[in-house]
Structure 1
Amino acid sequence: MRKLFIITILMAATTVVYAKCRNVFVEMGYQPAQVDAKLKEVFNDVFRGPNKVYFEVGDSMGYVSDIKNHDARTEGMSYGMMIAVQFGEKDIFDRLWRWSKKYMQHQSGNREGYFAWSCKTDGTRNADGAASDGELYFITALIFASNRWGDNTGINYKAEAQHILNCIQPKEYTPEPRKGGFPGFGGFGAQQQGPQKMYLIDPETKLITFTPDGFGNRYTDPSYHIPAFYEVWAKWADDGRADLWKVCAQKSREFLHKATHPVTGLNADMCQYDGSEMQMPRWPGMPQPKPGEKPRRNGSNNFRYDSWRVPMNITLDYEWSGADAEWQRGYGERIQNFFYSQGVDKFVDQYRPDGSLPEENEILQAGGFRKLRHSIGLVSTVAAASIMCKHAKSKEFVDALWNAKHEPFEDGYFDAYYDGLLRLFAFMHLSGNYREIIPQK
């Protein structure tokens, strides 16, 4: 009896406190046991199965790899940490954090506290610069780890989050020679001379940058806008900037109103801070249009890989804060209506924001292929938006995700990494397992 009492006390002491989220799968007729088994299966596909993207290194580290690009990215590392803390996988979380801190995070210099966005799987940096969404996820995942496990189990999670928050504040710096720029944009930063400003959040608009320095801090990526994360920082970061983070959350919501098309709900991959189309500079030496030639459209103004995340990010804010619920419900039905019009099992993964198809030279390639596909990553995020929707169509999207097979296409293309992670996030959302983790009492 005494032993049972002790076990009960220990279980109570480790019970995690969550904000409640809906299990949409169960609401739509799936059995709870089915949903639990499916969620476990999808998690194992990413972390433990034959097509896993998570790999352990020695006794204490691990990384998530973008297999098709042979690297580890702050995107995948921070996603992995967020998933691990949601599932209570402390060993995975700690391994990913140790690898990120050792190989990715700058410990001194201009970029102190920031993370090199891409490394080889042996830890060698492919680039020194940061992609701002990585920092966003690292901070939030660390705060949740502090809330869930405390800060006395070997890693002071709260202190690590606060260190990044302190380092991302605006500062002036002198550019260092660039090592491997961000894909497609590495040369632009090199064009700027003299002292520059570095900041994760643009100090004027309070919107997140595409990259915190160089050309990348002149514009933004709609998929980096996750107002719910700023609300988490305001509640539990304890960094003295709660009012700032609340403003950032509201500004991101206002931005998303402007950045999403009023009819289709689609958004550009990247855009200006006012939500308008991305204006790319034409640097000296770049080819000029020939007389009478139609200028090439900037493909960054299309809905494509990064853009897929926006429906799920808006869903997250709808679930966690509800601060913009009326607009978000309308957005959810608007974007599902568009994809429904394209065919629930047929829509492709890249469009112009008005819903027209891109020309061939606008299509962003992946894994050596330049091709439009019915990608499971987008199937996943559009299905996740069902949480916001009241129309009957939403069940068709949920069923399509449930029944979709994550397997190679006929031509051999397979993305275990990005498609796999977005699929897992969507199953977490729709099963009620992507939640705010509240500090233990």
Structure 2
Amino acid sequence: MKKTDGAFYTGEYRNVFKEYGYSEVEISARVQDTWEQLFFGDEEMRIYHEVGDDLGYMLDTGNIDVRTEGMSYGMMMAVQMNNKDVFDRLWKWTYTYMFMTEGENAGYFAWSCSPEGKKNSYGPAPDGEEYFALALFFASHRWGDETEAPFNYSQQAKDLLHTCIHKGEDGVGHPMWNPENKLIKFIPNCEYSDPSYHLPHFYELFSLWAYEEDQQFWKEAAQASREYLKIACHPETGLSPEYAHYDGTPNDERGFGHFYSDSYRTAANIGLDYEWFRGDVWETEEANKIQAFFSDKEPSDYRRYKIDGEPFEETALHPVGLLATNAMASLATVDGPNARASVDLFWNTPLRTGVRRYYDNCLYLFAMLALSGNFRIWMPKL
């Protein structure tokens, strides 16, 4: 493996579906259909809703709220699909209703709002902020910045990232990344992490596009996250907990020290880091382990697990999301022993229906984009 083999260096993105024998026509149709169903489909499927002439939101259908997670995901999906109208609607809704201008969390976004825009919480969730920042940079590079806020995309991204790492230096509030170990926190006012929040491939790009004085921090954060994932993921099963201490051990606060819903994203993140940057040879080993763990299990029997693989009676709340992220891990192990089976299972699984469809189908669309070579880095125009 050479780092220069990554898509960031070559500009070439693997179409894993095509490599596995699916036709380009059916791949393109599947990507487009997935997008159309989630954003413009019927009421039983879509999770995107437009408001008036210039606003829109992503609905968490299981909790009937709007989350920074979903809004930032929707923005990333929109920029990848080259839909500026959807992107701008989501970003304006976010900026209008979720941005906090006072209190200890000023400069961050409230992680949950009602569909009418009322804040359910005045606390932020860092996984939203990091996705907002990269989606905004990509929008700037793909469509260009406007002069007026909030559509001066790159300025918004730089300001947000600056807040994320410098908040609290004046004694008010807390940063989203620990300033010493450079690890992302679960929430700003705690000192532990969530392995699925770690996006070293995002931080590599932040180190190029953030304010100059912040760039070294992001470079170090990318390396710190790659090393952290090695100690947070179980050495045999590959499973990671939802919450983990800085030493990588599970943090079972409120029962979040197990492999469950948040954790599923870790495999997807590792796959994309490998595709973009060839982050670490360990990522291939990790993808092989987690795919092997699920290779003999039916999605209908996915469970909550201790990270050593011991199952609970409780079944997985988001089985479609889990099989989607396991498939996305194939980006790191295209020739691995369970890679094709994982991708075929995903391809042959439809979008989820019902009240819990939001999280599963967000992960589904990301996997569809990534495995078709359409989850891309949008570079500044020369």
- Judge same fold: TM > 0.5, yes or no: yes
Note the 1:28-39 alignment, pairs <5 A: 28-39=20-31
Pairwise CA RMSD: 2.0
> Corresponding residue for 1:377?
321
Residue of 266, 287, 307 corresponding to 1:310? 266
Q: Distance in 2 between the 1:402 and 1:243 partners?
A: 40
Q: 1:301-340: per-residue Cα shift (whole Å, max 9, x none)? A: 110000010000111110111131x111111111111111
1:40 match: 32
Alignment match, 2:309? 355
For the Cα contact (< 8 Å) 1:230–1:249, is it kept in 2?
yes
Pairing of 1:41-190 with structure 2 (within 5 A) = 41-50=33-42, 51-152=45-146, 155-172=151-168
**Which residue in 2 is equivalent to 1:203?**
179
Letter in 2 for 1:158: S
| 3-state SS of paired residue (1:169) | helix
- Work out which of the residue numbers 383, 388, 409 in structure 1 matches 2:332: 388
Whether the 8 Å CA contact 2:162–2:214 is kept in 1: the answer is no
Summarize the Cα distance change of 1:249–1:135 in structure 2 as closer, same or farther, 3 Å threshold.
same
Give the C-alpha shift of residue 405 in structure 1: 2.1
- Which of 312, 327, 343 is the equivalent residue of 2:282? 327
In the alignment, is the contact (CA less than 8 A) between 1:42 and 1:424 conserved in 2?
yes
Does structure 2 conserve the Cα–Cα contact (< 8 Å) formed by 1:347 and 1:374?
Answer: no
- Name the % identity: 43
CA distance in 2, matches of 1:31, 1:201: 43
Query: Is 1:20 the equivalent of 2:12?
Result: yes
Number of aligned residues: 369
1:423 aligns with 2:368: no
Asked if structure 1 preserves the Cα contact closer than 8 Å seen for 2:271 and 2:283, the reply is yes
2:261–2:318 contact (8 Å) kept in structure 1: no
Cα shift at 1:346: 5.0
CA distance in 2 between counterparts of 1:41 and 1:153 reads: 34
Q: Is the 8 A contact 1:18 1:435 kept in 2?
A: no
Greater shift after overlay, 268-277 or 73-82?
268-277
State the Cα distance separating 1:429 from its structure 2 match.
0.7
**CA distance 1:279–1:350, shift in 2 (3 Å):** closer
Q: Is the 8 A contact 2:226 2:279 kept in 1?
A: no
In the TM superposition, residue 18 of structure 1 has moved relative to its aligned partner by 9.3
Contact 1:234 1:241 in 2 (8 A): yes
Query: After alignment, is 305-314 or 160-169 more displaced?
Result: 160-169
User: In structure 1, what is the Cα distance between the partners aligned to 2:252 and 2:127?
Assistant: 21
- C-alpha change, 1:171 and 1:434, in structure 2 (3 Å) is closer
* Partner AA of 1:276 in structure 2: T
Higher-Rg structure is 1
Shift in Å, 1:341: 3.2
Alignment correspondent of 1:300? 256
Note the alpha carbon deviations across 1:359-414, whole angstroms, 9 max, x for none: x5xx4xxxxxxx44671110100011112112242111111111112244xxxx54
- Letter in structure 2 aligned against 1:161: A
Rounded to whole Å, the distance in 2 between the matches of 1:259 and 1:172 is 27
Q: Decide whether aligned partners of structure 1 residues 197 and 322 sit closer, same or farther in structure 2, where only a CA change above 3 A counts.
A: same
**Deviation readout 1:230-255 (Å, 9 max, x if unpaired):** 01111222443111101000000000
Paired with 1:252 and 1:173, the residues of 2 have a C-alpha distance of 23
- 1:300 CA displacement: 0.8
- Quote the Cα distance in structure 1 between the aligned partners of 2:327 and 2:196: 17
Question: Is 1:231 aligned with 2:225?
Answer: no
TM-score (norm 2): 0.92
- Whether the aligned pair in 1 keeps the contact of 2:141 and 2:378 (CA below 8 Å) is yes
Question: CA offset at residue 48 of structure 1?
Answer: 0.8
Report the residue type matching 1:336 in the other structure. Q
Aligned to 2:348: 403
Amino acid at match of 2:268: M
Match of 2:5 in 1: none
Change (3 A) 1:373 1:67: closer
Using the alignment, how far apart are the partners of 2:309 and 2:173 within structure 1? 37
SS at match of 1:63: strand
Map of 1:262 onto structure 2: 235
Whole-Å separation in 1 of the counterparts to 2:147 and 2:23: 37
Q: Distance in 1 between matches of 2:292 and 2:274?
A: 19
Per-residue CA shift, 1:282-314, capped at 9, x if unaligned? xxxxxxxxxxxxxxxx62111000001000011
Q: 1:147 to 1:230 in 2, by over 3 A?
A: same
| Cα distance, 1:61 vs structure 2 | 0.8
Task: Look up the equivalent residue of 1:169 and give its one-letter code.
Answer: I
